[in-house]
Structure 1
Amino acid sequence: MFRLDNKVALVTGGASGIGLAISKVFAQQGAQVHILEINEQQAQTAVDEITGTGGQAWAHGVDVSKQKQVVEVIDAIAAERKIDILVNNAGIAHIGKAHTTSEEDFDRILSVNIKGVYNCLFAIIPHMQRQGGGVILNMASIAATVGIPDRFVYSTSKGAVFTMTLSVARDYLADHIRCNSISPARVHTPFVDGFISKTYPGQEKEMFEKLSKTQPIGRMAKPEEIGALALYLCSDEASFITGCDYLIDGGFEKLNN
C-alpha cells in the first residue's frame, strides 16, 4: 500500500524541513521526485542524499514567486514525463501583528506563500487536464483556522492556501484532479531551532519545551509524520479524497482549551 511506483512528483521547497521529509518518503515509495527549490545547491544536496539510498530525484533551481521560472521548469519536466503529483510546500514565515508588519514584509510573504502556490497551479493544471488527472497537495497550517499570536500575515497567507485548495478541488472535478491540504501545528524543523536561538538566546531548552507543550499531545510533530500523511493523500489509496484539509496538530485546535 501507498506505493508511488512510476509516478512523477514535484515538491516545492523540497530540500529542507517538511519538504525534505516528503521528498524522501515519496522517493522511498518509488516516486521520481523533482525538488523545486530557490537554493539549487541545497536541492542538489537533498537529491544526493535521496539517490545515495537508492531513490530517484532531480534538483531544479526556481523561485516560485516568479511565474515565468515556474512555467519553464514545469513545462520542461512535463515534456519528458507525465507529472502525477504536485506538492505545494514552499513557504516562508513571519512574526508580527497587523500594525507591526511592514508593507515590504506583507508583500514578501504573499508573493511566496500565495502567489507561489498560484504560479505552480497555473503551470501544472493544464498538463494534468491533458493527461486525464493528477494529485495536488497544498501545505496550509493551523494558522489558517486558529488565531495564533503574532502571525498576522503568515496566517493570512495560509488562509488563502486553505481556500485555494477548496476552489481547485471544485473546479477540476471533471478533470479528475484531486486537491487537498495539510494543516500542521508546530513541527520540529531547522527553522524552529533557528527561531528559538535567535529570539531567545540562552533560553533555547526552556523555550523549546514551552513551545512543544502548546500542543496538547506534549511535543512538536516530526517532519516525517507530515511526510507520512502527504504520502497517503497523494497515493491511489486516497483516490476518494478531494477538497479536504487535514489537521495534524497534536490536538491543538480541538483540545487546546
Structure 2
Amino acid sequence: MTPHLVADGLTWTPRGAPPILSDVGFTVPQGQILAICGANGAGKSTLLRMLYRYLRPDAGRVTLGGDDLWALPARAAARRVAAVLQEQPTDFALDVREMVGLGRTPHRQGFAASGARDAEIIAAALHRMDLTRFAASPFGTLSGGERQRVMIARALAQEPELLVLDEPTNHLDIRHQLEVLALLRGLGLTVVLTLHDLTLAAEIADTLLLLHRGRLVAHGPPAKVLTPHTIAATFAVHARVDRSGPTPRFSFHL
C-alpha cells in the first residue's frame, strides 16, 4: 500500500544532553493505525511531538500525503494533523460544546464566526464520543475520563487526515477504553498513538513500533513484532506470549 505518513531518520537531541531519539523511521498507509510502545523514557512522546509539529527534528523528515509537514504553513498543517495529549486543561471557563468547537479554529478565516457546517461537525463529534448530554456542562466539572473524550471529540472536529494520540486510554474505564479504540478503528483516518498496554496495542494496531532508549527495536505487524525477544529488548523483562486466541495475551516476569 502507498504510504500516507512517512517518517525518515528522525533524530532529536536536547541541548547539552544525549539524544532522546536517533534515526527512527517508519511508514503508515492511508487509514491504518500505528501503535508506538516502549518503556518510560524510550522517546515515544518526543516522536509524537515531531509528527504534530511541536518539536522540529534535528535530522530527518516527516511527510504527509507527499508533503513535507514542517514546510507547510502552520494553519495548513493544523488542518491536516490533530493531536490528543495526556495533559488535559482543567481551568477553561468553557462548556463542552465550546471546547469541542475549538477544533474548528484552523478552518476559520480571520475573525469569522462559526457557521451551520461547524455546528453540524461539532454535534457529530459530541455524538461520536457519547458527550451530547454534557454539551452545556462546564469542562472543568467533568471527570478525567470525560475530559479525555472531550479532547478526542475536539480533535475529530478538526477533521484531520492524521490523528496523533498520546496514551488515549489513560483515565478511561475499561468500557470507554474499548469504545475509544473501536472508534479509532472506524474513523478511516491515519492514526499514530502510544499505548502502554501491549494487548490493546495488538488488538487495535495494523502495525507496531517498539522503541528502546530512542532507537527502533522492531516495526511491523503485531504478530511479528511482539515476540519474547523484542519485548525483552524493549522493556527489560521476560515475557510469555499466548497466541491461542484471536489476539496475543502476555505475562511478564523479571
Q: Place the TM-score, normalised by the shorter chain, in its bin.
A: 0.3 to 0.5
Greater RCO (CA < 8 Å, at least 6 residues apart): 2
- Structure with the higher strand share, 1 or 2: 2
Q: Which has the larger radius of gyration?
A: 2
- Structure with the higher helix share, 1 or 2: 1
Q: TM-score, normalised by structure 1?
A: 0.33
Q: TM-score, normalised by structure 2?
A: 0.33
